[in-house]
Structure 1
Amino acid sequence: MKDKRTQWLSRLTGAFDKAKRQGNNTTPTSRERGAVTVQNPLRSVGLTLFLLFFISIIVMVVVVGILSAQISKGIITDKVSEASKETIVQAADKIDFFFENIENMSVQIMSDDVIADNLTKYKETTLSAYDKLQAGATITNRLKNYVMANNKIADINVVPLTLESTSYKSSTSIKEEVFKSAWMEDIKKADGRAVWLPTLKAGYVTTPNTFAVGRVLRNIKTSTIEGILVVELKESSLKEVLNGLSIGEGSQIGIVSQTNKVVWNGNTESLESDYPINIVADTTKYKEVRETNDFETSVNGDTKLVVYDKLNRSNWFLGGNVSINELTKEASKINTVIWICVLVSAAVASVLGFLVMRMIGAPLVTMRNLMMQGAQGNLVVRTKVGSRRDEIGQLGESFNRMMEQITQLVRQTSASAQEVLNTAAELSDASRKTALSAKEISIATEEIASGASSLAVEAERGNDLTSNINVKVAQVVASNQQMEVSSNEVMKSSEQGKMYMSELITKTNTTEEMTRSMVEKVEKLQESTRSIRKILDVLHSMTKQTNILSLNATIEAARAGAAGKGFMVVADEIRKLADQSKQSIDVVAQITDTIQHEIKDTVTVLSEAYPLFQEQISSVKYTDEIFKQVAERMGSFTVQLQDVTGSIQQLKESQSILSDAMSNVSAVAEESSATSEEVASLSTEQLSISSGLVKLSEKLEELSNSLKESLSKFTI
């Protein structure tokens, strides 16, 4: 009864407070009573959607355009690079073939019997001056015949080893510094091998603007060194061999020496100068990554694509460079198309954004203004939905239904407020009369409650002691039962562990047999890889023989002249096939070596793992014995726990009987005390409620008047 009255009083008080707060909150402020405030247009949804459409379309077009231009430039550069590399490689092969012919001619001169005989005759001390002159003229005429047979040769000279030598000298105009030059020393050190000399403006012996090949001239009949044979070649002969070679518009082709000096680039003035692109340094610096024979470099702020190939005969470099901007100038037209697409996309994005603003932004602004008017108390506002059935239309319909519901609610609230006002007046009179009666009852009940309280305190103390004993006994029983359950679980786990250990012993033995079999199979595989290695050695020897045969065939085809050109192509293809076969065999050999190394490591690991498997079997057997001992001891422990549980259960039953008796005594005492206190409390509470009812009645009347005044401000 006490709880029900307290809850009723709290609910009534809360309802009055809530009604007052709502009445205060519905009073419009001076700002709300004014016109609808227009928000910042920059924060509107329509403008946000417009910017999203516009920016997303423009960004996508620009990104796609830039990526397309970059990809196009990359593709063009790669394609030109591949074509240029092929062109440079073919041109380098032509130059090597030309140099090979010149070297063969120098060998032919050394093998010429007429020249050999006259060189020997020229050094005879008993020879008359006339006969010596005749011998020299014969050698000179013979050398001129070789010069006339090849229009790319400027001159062929024989230079004695020293200035004071009595050996034949092809020209009396050989300068003294020739004998002291570094290139003479290089030829002597080569000891018969051909040495290619880069282009000099002053020439080497007699002719300016020439490059040359030199070798020690050894008499084939007497094996004595007669001097140095120098074959000077016209600088323009390289232009004829390259035959207008080009790798693109504005490209530059050149041949550079090992010191990066210009051997030929079509401009006589630049001979002996440094080549603007240091091909030699780049090939040395990027040796590991320059297998493609191309790279990019910057010259005077312009990025150049450089393609090169090494000349095998002379160790010079044939290189070409072209501006990447020149290669990709056609791709630059894509930029114009990109900007046109950007402008068109901007126009399309503007139109779409404007439509979105009209279709979404404008209705939302209208809805916002109507809601603000409704918030100020104007409940007659409605939105015109029209024929729209999308989310905007549904929002408008929902707004109209909401305003209708609010209007009905305000009407009902206004009628209810009048009824509450009438009831509050009647409640106020009744509560005043009740307050006087409750005051008299409260004084009488307080004296009865004082005596009953003392008896309840003593009974409660005895009941508490009995309850504590009961709780302790229950805890002991629960703990003992939990120990019994745990021991049974340990027993089951031990039995299951024994089963698992038996299975583990069987599987470990199987693993040991499989490991032993694996070791045997890996050793057989190692023997097979050794056999493959022997076969690869035989194939490698065959490719070397094929390469030598193709080289001999090329030389014979070159000697045959025009009739051997077809055979020369076939020999060149055979040489390429032999090189490809050699590369493939080398790759297979590397793979085979890797497999042998991995097999060896596998055998080592398996050999080390086998003793570990044996140790594992011993450990598993020892663990199995431990599980058996645990199972036996847990069985005896479980029996002892069951005996203890029976004894504690008997103690619990005795304690339960004592607890019931004390509870009955305490209950009787508490009931008497509670009855007295309840009567006193109800009397006091009734007095308090009566006073509160008087105040609440007055407050309810005030709130009713305030609510009625607030509702009068709504337009319905």
Structure 2
Amino acid sequence: MKFKSIKHKLISIFTLLIVLPLMFSSIIAITILKSSLQNQATYSLKKSSNLIDNIITEAYTGYKNSILQMSENGIIKSCLTVDDKTLEKELFSIVKSNKSILNAYIFTKNNKILIYPKTDSLNDFVPTDSKLYKDTKTKKNDILCVDAYKDLTTGKMVITLCKSIFDNNDIFVGVACIDIDISYIKNLVKDITIDNNGHVYLLDRTGVAIASRNDNVLGKNFNPDRKEAALTKDTKILNIYNSSSEVSWMKNLMSGKSGLESAHFLNTNNFVYYMNNIASGWKIIVTMDKNILTKKIFSTLLLFIIVFIVSLVISILAALIISKSVTNPLNHLNEIMLKAENGDLTQICSIKTNDEFGTLGKSFSNMTAGIKDLISSIKETSKKILIFSDTLKNQSNVSSISANEIASTMDEISAGVQQQATDAQISSEIALKFIDKLNEINTYSKEINNESSKMNDYNKEAFDAVVNLKQKNDLTTTAVSTISKRIKELESYSENIGKISSVILSISSQTNLLSLNAAIEAARAGDAGKGFSVVADEVRKLSEQSSNSAEEIQNIISKIQNTTKETVHSMDNVANYVESQNDAVTITEQSFEELSKSIDNITTTINNVVVSINELTQKSTILMESIESISSVSEQSAAAIEEITASVASQLNDMEKLRQESENLNELAQILEKGVEKFKID
């Protein structure tokens, strides 16, 4: 499942952290409650059954003691010889000794019947022929228990206990019987309540209900496999169940077993616990309505649902509050970081908390302040570089123009010198023909004098140009030195920026390490640390973003440093070129000084020639030597001029390179200025 925001993620996590444990605990609690209620119901059923069992056993023990005492009574044992009044008085005493005894009677072996209270219903009764008499006699010393039945005289539910009577000589003389009113047990069973919805059913040994709070089942048969007892064959008993499949557990009850069943009993889903009373052989059935237990479970389930809904609402509210406290600082940081990414370095983090967000906000503010100072310094430096590069460019252009003018002048000088060499050659030829053409020599002498004057003028102009070039070259040297210093300062600033970027990367790395440690600790904390794990993961992402931004800044600074180094290298080359140019200018100046001296010499010589022209005829040898000297000087001048021309051409190339380098420097300064213009620092 993907979440669009950390807020939704935190809400989901908090909700799951509260809802899932609550849901599991509710399921476990309901399961435990159901088991507990079932155990409680089982305990109540067993407790009630044991209580009834103890009551019946205690009562039956009393009844048996009564019949034993009656059978062991001396008068009763002498029933064949004692008169009837004495026996009746004794029977009266027995009846009055226990209010539960309705009748006490004796059947003798000679068919004598003695009963109290007296009744006429047994006038036609022959004791020795009855099954009761025979079964009792057969049991000898054991007590015969007759299943409960409804007494016709009193209409009460009674049981009959009988025991054989032996005289003092241990001779069988008859049977003693008592009819016991079990209304006490019936009322006791009727009054027993089991969680206000349970019922107790007391069955005789054949399965007929003899006691219950439900009067509709009294006297009715619960056992589909019941066989009629001898004394109750004449009584019509209604069956509640006609098939053993309806009460399959009834066979276990009839066979003397006990157990707990969940069964459909008397048209109701019940927990049924059954057991046998050993003393009487009666069957005890205790039931509890399952619907009451189900209602308790549902009421508890409803309570858990209400608690679940309330907890869910509380968890969502808590998740909203906590997520807001986490996402607000993150959103604020994200907003100012986006602005900083777009170049706005005036943003200040306003997170005032003392947690990691507050620390991250302070670090971001410090980082932007450092970058802002750095960008401000770069802006100022780039402006200075731009100004210096413009000045250098202008000076380079001026120097280039001057160099072109010098080259043009040197071309003219070279042409004059070549012409001088030609004239010297002609003079040499004239000297050979000096005698024949003296007039022509005089004319040529005048022309040489004029050309010398011009050459002197040209020499002065060239010398002035060289001096001007030297002054310009000095200015260029000063400007290059200043630019070189500024560029080295820029290189130093760039190195400081690189150090700051390294510090930022170190802080990002440490923050990333801290977030990793926080994630590890959150993982160790298990479910309780998942919320903090999410926060640590977001901090790690922010650290990675800061690291990436710092790396981008470092890459930009690295490019600036590389460009600055290239500029420094170029400026060093320019300085070398300027120094070479300065040397060349110095040589040119010296050459022009020598040239000036040579021209002066030539002028003096020509003047001497003019003065001595009249003596030339006579001094032809001297004239030839002078002409040769002039030719030699002309050749030297031509060579010197060629050297000056080469120097000027080299200087022109150097100035062109200087101009190109200044243009490159100007372009780099403009690129640097555009690069830092996107940052807003004011």
Category of TM-score, reference length = shorter chain? 0.3 to 0.5
Q: Structure 1 length as normaliser, TM-score?
A: 0.41
* Rg larger for: 2
Which structure is higher in RCO with an 8 Å CA cutoff and minimum separation 6? 1
Q: Structure 2 length as normaliser, TM-score?
A: 0.42
